[in-house]
Amino acid sequence: MTEMVHGTVPIRVGEPVLPRWWRTIDKVTLGCVLALFGIGILLGLAASPPLAMDNGKPPFYYVERQAVFGLASLTAMVVISMMTPRSVRRLGVLGFIAAFALLAALPFIGTDYGKGAVRWISLGFASLQPSEFLKPGFVVVAAWLMAASQEIHGPPGRSISLVLALVIVGFLAAQPDFGQASLILFIWGVIWFVAGAPFALLATMAAGVIVAGTFAYQNSEHFARRIDGFLSSELDPTTQLGYATNAIIEGGFFGVGVGEGQVKVSLPDAHTDFIIAVAAEEYGLMLVLVIIALYALVVLRSLMRLTRERDTFIRLAGTGLACVFGIQAIINMGVAVRLLPAKGMTLPFVSYGGSSVIATGIAMGMLLAFTRSRPQGEIGDILIRRRG
């Protein structure tokens, strides 16, 4: 009866890996991810040719690179989704250590590519952004520490994970990259909340973020310029936000037509940070709503499956991964419509970017591994057993 009500998957002795993976994977989430990647390639065909020609490249240079990055990302996602939660945890810890080491080395080996923030490591043929790979690793490490702290004689996981978060925020703020720093704090807060943090402590943390933001505004010209631009009542039509806003208005409900948009010519970041403006201008509000629905479906469905999970680590890590996936999409689209200050954050699976696409594939592989159906893996089993 438990299996009929709660969907627990029985063990099939000798079942091959692929059939077992396909039977237990969340196919809806997997389908949404593939749809988002397909939309990203479609929008890349529209947004990237002007930039490629300006840089002396073939028209579809960036689209071809995005396809290669995407293939690597999807391959990593599928392979990781086949792992057990314990193997994913080990991978996350090792990945976190490697990404953290590269983040700490950025002041010595990093480059800013003329954008004023040292965030990348040049590999010659491509660039690597350590902060992108740090996020899924940090989720796993923070969830592991907090889950361990709930055990008898467990370590002070909350305190250790908070120290790690603050150290990472310090490195990111020094780049400066306040967007990713805020995201790290958000991830830690979400995991802590799910682990049972009292509301008073969360309110204290929020107050601390406000104080830190005020300090950054007063001492960082880069941060202050972005906040002032966001709060200004007048919008300069020749800025990136001005071009994006005009493109969204021009697109209306059904868009101006495939290939007819102009924002891709004016915006150097049309294929990355402002890809949603290209979607709104050429395909209209309809495609934007589809994109929003796909992100919402991934997050909500993952959270619903995690509510039935009885393993504390899996619940915490899965919730963190799902929320960071959703909040990054919200931030990117919020910036484009001027609901949030400019952050320089990509739209997961849709924007161009090797580090972003591959790191997101790793994160989604972990999430799919955590949300797979497992034998006797749901908290409902325990509740029914207690009633009996």
Structure tokens, 384 = 């029914």
Dump pLDDT digits (tens) for 49-67.
887 887 788 888 888 999 9
Per-residue pLDDT of the chain (388 residues; tens, 9 = 90+): 334 434 445 556 567 788 888 999 999 999 999 999 999 998 888 888 887 887 788 888 888 999 999 999 999 999 999 999 999 999 999 999 999 999 999 988 888 876 777 888 888 777 889 999 999 999 999 999 999 988 888 788 888 999 999 999 999 988 888 888 889 999 999 999 898 877 777 777 778 778 877 877 777 776 777 777 666 666 666 677 777 888 888 888 888 887 777 777 777 777 778 888 888 888 989 999 999 999 999 999 999 999 988 899 999 999 999 999 999 999 999 888 888 877 778 899 998 888 899 999 999 999 999 999 876 545 555 444 555 5
Q: At a CB cut-off of 8 Å and minimum separation 6, what does 173 contact?
A: 181, 216
Q: Which helix (H) or strand (E) element contains residue 122?
A: strand 121-122
Burial code (b: 16+ CB inside 10 Å, e: under 16) for 323-348 equals: bbbbbbbbbbbbbbebebbbbbbbbb
Distance between CA atoms of residues 135 and 107, nearest Å: 19
Domain assignments of the chain as residue spans, ordered by start: 36-374
What is this structure's pTM? 0.87
Whether the Cβ atoms of residue 174 and residue 116 lie closer than 8 Å to each other: no
DSSP assignment of 128-169, as one string?
A: E-HHHHHHHHHHHHHHHHHHHHTSTT---HHHHHHHHHHHHH
Alpha helix ranges (H) inside the chain: 2-6, 17-24, 27-47, 49-54, 61-81, 85-109, 130-149, 157-174, 178-194, 199-219, 221-231, 240-251, 263-266, 275-306, 312-336, 354-370, 379-387
Amino acid occupying residue 113: Y
Residue 101, judged by CB atoms within 10 A of its CB (0-12, 13-18, 19+), counts as: exposed
Structure tokens, 70 = 């995407």
Residue recorded with tokens 């799919």? 368
